[in-house]
Structure 1
Amino acid sequence: MKKIVLVAVAAILSLSAFAQGIEFEHGTFAEALAKAKAEDKLLFVDFYTTWCGPCKKMSKDIFPREEIGTFFNKNFISLKIDAEKGEGPEISKKYEVKGFPTMIFFNPDGTENMRLVGATPDAGFFLSFAKQVTGEETPFLEKYEAYKKGNRNLDFVRGLILSGGVYASTLPREEQGPWYEKFAEMAAWYFVAKQPHEMMNKDDFRLISMYLDGPNNGNPFVEHIYNNYEAWAKLIPNEDLSMFIFRTNNQSMHESYRNGNLKFREYLAAVHGRLAKVYEDTPDADADDTYMVMKYVCESGYCLYGQKDVDGYCDWNEKSKAYQKERGELDARSYMAFVGNCLHASKEYISDKQVKRLMGYLKEGLKLDPEATSLIDNMGDCYALLGQNEKAIEQYNTVIELTKDNARSAAYYKESMTNKINALK
């Protein structure tokens, strides 16, 4: 199944689509710091790990961008440090790097200037953060004081909201929430103060992406983008515009069927209708595949969530599996969300006969991967629903055994499975 049809969609363009991005040094931390001092620049260090998904997002979608490279190569010496290899563990410990990615800006004397933890939502956010480090952007709190005193210039408010996210990201987690609520209120006011056609620029698109990037079909600003796609495409890079359109339309489908609303069929039809040109313009996007996959997801979801019809849900998922098999994409993962979602949503009303039907699918999935822990866990849940507690406990213990040597997940699975076992005793 192509990633383009998922709700949580990753950017789909290769690095070749971008011009020169950040030029990273290849030496040691000490060498990079010495070079920064010699050139009177700050040192930017990206602490990452090879298994970190958000780290890969930054390396694939943010660091290679032309505007990022232009600013960083002028103002910083940049270095990537694998926190688990070479000098990485020692330096990470010294600077208390605890999450990934952690991006730290160092002064030439080696003291920390600012840090950013986690992947940024977009390139604009990352660039704004860097500009606040160098002083090219006014510190957020100074601008916020002007806002409190009554400054409602639209460009000023927009800039305040965009830079506010950068400021909040530097605060302890418990202090971030109240600020994000303030930003949401500012954005709501901003959207009332402007008309959709007045938002046709890159900065306003960033606001739209930040605050309307969800199940917002029908929102006038989202509708304006859908209905004027070709005009927007002249202003916004394809990788940003198309992903926003795909995500919002897909998420609107999901919200619709979960609420028992058949409007998902309207949003689905848009894939071959008013959004067809977006798919045509976007590399690796497949409108036909998106339509078929989302049709199975939506129709089955409508049965499960809207109609509480477990058999209808299973019938649609059988069609989905047949489609995946035809395309050579059927594997154990094809069964995981299918059965797991059903068990979670229907456990209060599912019949024994339907539980046994789900167990048949689990057996099919386990033939493809006998050690698929999610499927074994679900098999235990099915036995528990049937009152066969000993068999359920056996499945849960199997999960613990299979994951005991996994440093990243062993503790989670042991606790989760133990809780299920204790609940049956």
Structure 2
Amino acid sequence: MNIKQNLLLTLSFVIAAATTVNAQGIEFNKGTYTEALAEANERGVPLFIDFYADWCGPCKMMDKQVFVDQELGTYFNENFVSVKLNTEHEINEELVKELDITSMPTLMFVDGEGEVISRISGSMNIEEMLKLGKTVTGDLKSFEEMYTAYKKDKNNFEVMQELLKAAPSFVSFQTGMDKKKWIIRIENIFEEYIEKKMAMGDAFINADDYRLVNRFYEPKGEHDEVIEFMVANMDKYIENVGNAPAFYVIRNNTTMAQDLAKKGDKKYMEILERIKGDMKPAYDIAEEGHNISQYEIAKLDCDALYALYEEKDADKYIQLKNEYFEADGDKVTSLSKASAAQAMYYAMGNDVSEKNNAAAKEWIIASLAGDKIPLMQRINIIALLGDVNKHMGLLKEAEQAYNRAYAETLQMEESRSQMYLQLQLKRKIEMLNLE
């Protein structure tokens, strides 16, 4: 897209964002777009533009956490001229329209003629921003260049691995049909890569390939080939990669058993038996930090889910969950009890007795007494407490809980999530007034 000369002249009086120079990070030109472009021309480097808005939470996040990075600043200050432009300044209207800036932040690089080299809509972290800058300068290959190299040699595992590593960041900034096209391509490359590398045996047992599996792979049910490979080689995985593959296997096996229990399929018992069999090396990693065995924990959990979903017996569910909480004692995490309450309501809806509501409320209060609960989860748990109080007819206590959850949202930094949660909580309070 070419920015016409007459537009550049018109914008010579543009009021750009008056930003302070930060020697620790990116130094933004304090002049207009035209002045910044002229400086870039004089230096013979591209112009980097940060299109932002005052209300934009991700823009503020990048100002505070990304643009201030010293390594990023050093690279950008040497290789680009940078400028910040406020999209809501009416005098910028023609430029914003010409460049079709519709979301913030939009991060753009243009050459000396105003031709767009690269643009990204959305926030980036420091690593992504640095990679983007190095791609623009040619210090790093672009994703498209890596894909071209892969097509020339589909047995080059190094190129395939680098391509897959870069894929999530690249795809996240694609839109529409381009995004769908690249997702299909990457899925096909990943399947091809996994098949070939796993056939090589020990060559597949390394940290980089495990990260790719963890990021991309969706196990295909019982006796999945990748899971079985990891189980058969768990000792080597722990030696070469660490404990993460063990927890990956545990997570998959636990989820599979839970899903079967929820469907009323007692085959979950066979899945759990592997905890004491060929999966023991993986589960042994998780034994530390509990008062009962991993098998006992999983068995009580799945038995409880079977009672809840298949037998519709909330009393038995609560009994089995309390057996687990008592047996594991002080090793039960703060979130476990709230999660147990949430699972009951998810399965039973409003069909919960007064006694079981009281049990759920007790679990939730116990969870909130725990330390170091992430803010988002804490807000959700407090809101759940409000819902339970509402089920019990304790409308004043429900309103207090919703207001408490609302107060917690004031600590959130991400504005969109904050606004969404606040809206939901306001609606809950309004609904109480209709009771």
The question of a shared fold, defined as TM-score above 0.5 by the shorter chain, is answered with yes
Q: What displacement does 1:416 show?
A: 5.0
Hey, what's the Cα distance between the residues in 2 that align with 1:275 and 1:103? 46
Whether contact under 8 Å (2:337, 2:363) holds in the other structure is: yes
Q: What displacement does 1:187 show?
A: 1.5
Q: Could you tell me which residue of structure 2 aligns to residue 10 of structure 1?
A: none
Q: What displacement does 1:402 show?
A: 3.4
Q: What displacement does 1:352 show?
A: 4.5
Whether contact under 8 Å (2:45, 2:111) holds in the other structure is: yes
The residue identity in structure 2 corresponding to 1:232 is: N
Measured against aligned partners, the alpha-carbon deviations of 1:224-252 in whole angstroms (never above 9, x if no partner) come to: 6624126634xxxxxxx544543443343
Hey, what's the Cα distance between the residues in 1 that align with 2:239 and 2:364? 48
Match of 2:155 among 153, 156, 168: 153
Hey, what's the Cα distance between the residues in 2 that align with 1:165 and 1:27? 25
Count of residue pairs brought into register by the alignment: 351
Hey, what's the Cα distance between the residues in 2 that align with 1:188 and 1:90? 44
The verdict on how the C-alpha distance between 1:217 and 1:303 changes in structure 2, with shifts beyond 3 A counting, is: farther
Q: What displacement does 1:356 show?
A: 3.4
Measured against aligned partners, the alpha-carbon deviations of 1:356-397 in whole angstroms (never above 9, x if no partner) come to: 33234445567889xx76556445544665xx5xx2554543
Q: Could you tell me which residue of structure 1 aligns to residue 427 of structure 2?
A: 415
Counterparts of residues 62-211 of structure 1 (less than 5 Å): 75-77=75-77, 104=107, 106=109, 113-115=118-120, 117=122, 131-135=134-138, 136-140=140-144, 143=147, 147=151, 152-155=154-157, 156-172=159-175, 176-194=179-197, 195=199, 196-200=201-205, 204-211=209-216
Q: Could you tell me which residue of structure 1 aligns to residue 240 of structure 2?
A: 232
Whether contact under 8 Å (2:103, 2:122) holds in the other structure is: no
The verdict on how the C-alpha distance between 1:44 and 1:204 changes in structure 2, with shifts beyond 3 A counting, is: farther
The verdict on how the C-alpha distance between 1:175 and 1:295 changes in structure 2, with shifts beyond 3 A counting, is: farther
Whether contact under 8 Å (1:128, 1:137) holds in the other structure is: no
Whether contact under 8 Å (2:399, 2:429) holds in the other structure is: yes
Helix, strand or coil for the counterpart of 2:29? helix
Whether contact under 8 Å (2:382, 2:405) holds in the other structure is: no
The verdict on how the C-alpha distance between 1:399 and 1:321 changes in structure 2, with shifts beyond 3 A counting, is: farther
Q: Could you tell me which residue of structure 1 aligns to residue 253 of structure 2?
A: 252
- Show structure 2 runs of 5+ residues with no match: 1-21, 31-35, 262-267, 309-315, 372-377, 411-417
Whether contact under 8 Å (2:227, 2:249) holds in the other structure is: no
The verdict on how the C-alpha distance between 1:200 and 1:165 changes in structure 2, with shifts beyond 3 A counting, is: same
Hey, what's the Cα distance between the residues in 1 that align with 2:117 and 2:297? 48
The verdict on how the C-alpha distance between 1:151 and 1:217 changes in structure 2, with shifts beyond 3 A counting, is: closer
Hey, what's the Cα distance between the residues in 2 that align with 1:301 and 1:119? 39
Matched, 1:319 2:320: no
Hey, what's the Cα distance between the residues in 2 that align with 1:357 and 1:223? 39
The verdict on how the C-alpha distance between 1:383 and 1:146 changes in structure 2, with shifts beyond 3 A counting, is: closer
Match of 1:397 among 380, 392, 399: 399
Hey, what's the Cα distance between the residues in 1 that align with 2:369 and 2:188? 52
Q: What displacement does 1:36 show?
A: 12
Hey, what's the Cα distance between the residues in 1 that align with 2:274 and 2:406? 47
The verdict on how the C-alpha distance between 1:146 and 1:335 changes in structure 2, with shifts beyond 3 A counting, is: closer
Whether contact under 8 Å (1:217, 1:223) holds in the other structure is: no
- Show structure 1 runs of 5+ residues with no match: 1-22, 79-86, 234-240, 280-285
Whether contact under 8 Å (2:46, 2:111) holds in the other structure is: yes
Coordinate RMSD, CA, aligned:
5.7
The verdict on how the C-alpha distance between 1:268 and 1:228 changes in structure 2, with shifts beyond 3 A counting, is: same
Whether contact under 8 Å (2:230, 2:237) holds in the other structure is: no
Q: What displacement does 1:344 show?
A: 1.5
Hey, what's the Cα distance between the residues in 2 that align with 1:89 and 1:336? 46
Helix, strand or coil for the counterpart of 1:411? helix
Q: What displacement does 1:302 show?
A: 1.0
Higher relative contact order at CA 8 Å, sep ≥6: structure 1 or structure 2? Answer: 1
TM-score under structure 1 length normalisation: 0.57
What percentage of aligned pairs have identical amino acids? Answer: 10
Q: Could you tell me which residue of structure 2 aligns to residue 82 of structure 1?
A: none
Hey, what's the Cα distance between the residues in 2 that align with 1:334 and 1:43? 47
Q: Could you tell me which residue of structure 2 aligns to residue 29 of structure 1?
A: 28
Q: What displacement does 1:305 show?
A: 2.2
Hey, what's the Cα distance between the residues in 1 that align with 2:428 and 2:124? 28
The verdict on how the C-alpha distance between 1:206 and 1:28 changes in structure 2, with shifts beyond 3 A counting, is: same
Measured against aligned partners, the alpha-carbon deviations of 1:281-333 in whole angstroms (never above 9, x if no partner) come to: xxxxx8512686966863443133233241344323532673248xxx76xx5
Measured against aligned partners, the alpha-carbon deviations of 1:200-258 in whole angstroms (never above 9, x if no partner) come to: 5665444323223779796245346624126634xxxxxxx544543443343234234
Match of 1:310 among 317, 329, 346: 317
The residue identity in structure 2 corresponding to 1:210 is: R
Hey, what's the Cα distance between the residues in 2 that align with 1:205 and 1:251? 15
Measured against aligned partners, the alpha-carbon deviations of 1:328-354 in whole angstroms (never above 9, x if no partner) come to: x76xx5643232222223337655543
Q: Could you tell me which residue of structure 1 aligns to residue 289 of structure 2?
A: 289
The verdict on how the C-alpha distance between 1:144 and 1:374 changes in structure 2, with shifts beyond 3 A counting, is: same
TM-score under structure 2 length normalisation: 0.56
Q: What displacement does 1:188 show?
A: 1.7
Whether contact under 8 Å (1:303, 1:312) holds in the other structure is: no
The verdict on how the C-alpha distance between 1:151 and 1:75 changes in structure 2, with shifts beyond 3 A counting, is: same
Matched, 1:355 2:362: no
The residue identity in structure 2 corresponding to 1:305 is: L
Whether contact under 8 Å (2:383, 2:401) holds in the other structure is: yes
The residue identity in structure 1 corresponding to 2:289 is: D
Whether contact under 8 Å (1:107, 1:113) holds in the other structure is: yes
Q: What displacement does 1:24 show?
A: 8.2
